[in-house]
Amino acid sequence: MNKLPLHCIVLAAGQGTRMKSAKPKVLHGIGGKPMVGHVLDAAEALGAAAVHVVHGHGGDQLRAWFDRHYGSERKVYWAEQAQQLGTAHAVSQALPAIPDQAQVLILYGDVPLISVATLGALVAAGDDTLALVTVELAEPKGYGRIVRNAEGAVTGVVEENDASDAEKRIREVNTGLMSMPATRLKQWLAQVGNDNAKGEYYLTDIVAMAMASGLKVATVSAASAEEVEGANDRVQLARLERFHQRQQADALLRQGLSLADPARFDLRGTLDHGRDVSIDVGCVLEGRVSLADGVSIGPYCILRDVSIGAGTVIEAHSVLEQTVIGAAAHVGPFARLRPGTELGDETKVGNFVETKQAQVGKGSKINHLSYVGDARIGTDVNIGAGTITCNYDGANKHLTQIADGVFVGSNSSLVAPVSLGAGATIGAGSVIASDVPAGGLTLCRAREQKSYARWQRPQKNKKD
Ligand code: UD1
Ligand code: CA
């Protein structure tokens, strides 16, 4: 039935004053992605031939976000609506870039959770039909009401401010999302006036025009009230965020992921997981996260662009960013793995350890209180508590190389650039500023230990 290319118009010119924000409303995020990003992704998933965004003030911010996020991968036609004179006027701004031979789909940039399934049903109504997404609300106040005749056919949409008392009792409302042939849309919009209670050009006026012209008018029911809900303030935004997070969590649970509490789980990106993966409460996952079979994530961890191998355990309160971890490793509690960290299989990184641009070979351990940055560490290395790679001289970063089987005693400072040969042992408390040969013991500290028997500790002044 659909022969014509699909052109989506995303209305995003509303000021969004109630957000009380310097950002355009549609850039406020749900699940870590601007609302308008959800809508654009839905249009993409529908296979739209072109997407047109109608923006108002803040268009520069919108374009800047789009370029940053999608780069040259996707194209959008931008149309500015300098003054917000109503939804019909907004749609008109996009018309010059829309060919006659097109099916048009109207979307709202501030209705982020609309499902591809619902939109698919709307578009499937055909390119010779005016199709509307409607929903039944217990509290329809504020919305345009769907007016039907005795046969149940839609005869028009009446806005709240123009509705009679009887019409106000109608609970089926217009969500604003609709589809129609471009030729008809162009004819109708030319006829829409602003002689109504709000003095605006109402897009909804086209419904009665379609009916009068004998065009088929169809409706599609929304699957939930939330998927067609707009966010005008931060209370609504937070409510939609919770709904979205719960939907994601439930989908993951159905796929076999174990979540200690789906209400205390936040995914702001994508998660790939194997079998028997479990995530405890309070975790935030961002970007692209991949967890292989049997991975266990303790409570209150943050994972941002992370890939973790099978059977690895991440303990509570660990923060991992741009990190790759092998299988059967053990991290945390309280570990901080910064960008460029690569931990091999069976590695251990314990509490209060910070790593950055560090490759750690199979079976190596950094168990307590260390900073390991700009380092290449071989296999079966043991880094003692309190060891620091002094990688920064105030201007440049330098590399620390530690070969297989090295044992670094506690509280050593490794002053980079420096390299430690295979199997070397470093005595505790050493400051290692020159390369260390393989094997043997190397230490660098005050030569003798002395004791002063009559030494007196400083005393606190007693207050009188
Ligand atoms: C509109 C519908 C109403 C529907 C409701 C659903 C009309 C006349 N009414 O009402 O039937 O029940 O949405 O939420 O269409 N926008 C612009 N430029 C404008 C005006 C609006 O871009 O000049 C955008 C807004 O940013 C928003 C969308 O269009 O994304 C809807 O605008 P809004 O003012 O919320 O419409 P309502 O009056 O609530
Ligand atoms: Ca509205």
Cβ(301)–Cβ(320) below 8 Å? yes
Average of per-residue pLDDT across 161-188: 98
Instruction: Quick: pLDDT tens for 348-389.
Output: 999 999 999 999 999 999 999 999 999 999 999 999 999 999
Q: Which residues contact 454 (CB under 8 A, 6 or more apart)?
A: none
Average of per-residue pLDDT across 404-412: 98
Q: How many angstroms is it from 110 CA to the middle of ligand 1?
A: 10
Q: Whole-angstrom Cα distance, residue 43 to residue 225?
A: 20
Ligand 1: residue of 36, 78, 87, 192 to mutate (most ligand atoms within 8 A of CB) is 87
Q: Report which ligand 1 atom has the smallest distance to the Cα of 108.
A: 30
Tokens of 262: 């789906």
Q: How many angstroms is it from 152 CA to the middle of ligand 1?
A: 25
For residue 457, pLDDT beyond 90: no
Q: How many angstroms is it from 141 CA to the middle of ligand 1?
A: 14
Instruction: Quick: pLDDT tens for 111-130.
Output: 999 999 999 999 999 889 99
For residue 450, pLDDT beyond 90: no
pLDDT at 77: 98
pLDDT at 330: 98
Q: Whole-angstrom Cα distance, residue 428 to residue 437?
A: 17
- Residue identifier of the C-alpha nearest atom 22 of ligand 1: 13
Q: Report which ligand 1 atom has the smallest distance to the Cα of 203.
A: 15
Q: How many angstroms is it from 173 CA to the middle of ligand 2?
A: 12
Q: What positions carry a catalytic annotation?
A: 368
Average of per-residue pLDDT across 311-335: 99
Instruction: Quick: pLDDT tens for 241-297.
Output: 999 999 999 999 999 999 999 999 999 999 999 999 999 999 999 999 999 999 999
> Which among 364, 331, 325, 337 is positioned nearest to 349, based on CA atoms?
331
> Which among 83, 1, 8 is positioned nearest to 48, based on CA atoms?
8
Amino acid letter at 81? Q
Q: Whole-angstrom Cα distance, residue 335 to residue 285?
A: 16
For residue 1, pLDDT beyond 70: no
Instruction: Quick: pLDDT tens for 414-429.
Output: 999 999 999 999 999 9
pLDDT at 464: 63
Mean pLDDT of the chain, nearest integer: 96
> Residue 159 CA: which ligand is closest?
1
List residues near ligand 1 (CB under 6 A).
Answer: 11-14, 54, 81, 84-87, 89-90, 108-110, 143-144, 157, 159, 173-176, 202-204, 230
CA 37 to chain centroid, in Å, comes to 10
pLDDT at 461: 85
The rounded percent of the chain whose pLDDT value lies above 90 is 93
Average of per-residue pLDDT across 188-204: 97
By CB atoms closer than 10 A (0-12, 13-18, 19+), residue 135 is buried
Q: Whole-angstrom Cα distance, residue 221 to residue 224?
A: 9
